[in-house]
Amino acid sequence: MEIKLGLRGNADAVNHILIKLDDLTLMTTENLFLAGEEGRNKTGKNIVQLLDCLSKDHEISIKENIANEAERELGLKNGELQQWIK
């Protein structure tokens, strides 16, 4: 199963992070634009942990522009999502 990461929002703000598993899409419940820095950082750490667990049995695929934008919005400063760029 291939797992993809996506973003939902507009040119001004990212509102949600999407994780696509075949025909199932999971979306963060908290609006990242309104969550504040602490909420975005916590969400970022949780998403990296989830993707790390899922990557043991499944292929993770993230486009470079999505990874860069998600890392910026979620306060990920160590390039945590770069390992899954396809």
State the 10-residue block means of pLDDT for the chain, 86 residues long: 93 92 92 91 95 95 95 93 94
Number of domains the chain is built from: 1
User: Edge-to-edge, what's the strand order for the sheet holding 14-21?
Assistant: 24-27, 14-21, 2-9, 59-61
Note the pLDDT of residue 12.
85
Note the pLDDT of residue 11.
83
Task: Identify the burial level of 78 via C-beta atoms within 10 angstroms of its C-beta, where 0-12 means exposed, 13-18 middle and 19 or more buried.
Answer: exposed
Question: What domain range is 32 assigned to?
Answer: 2-84
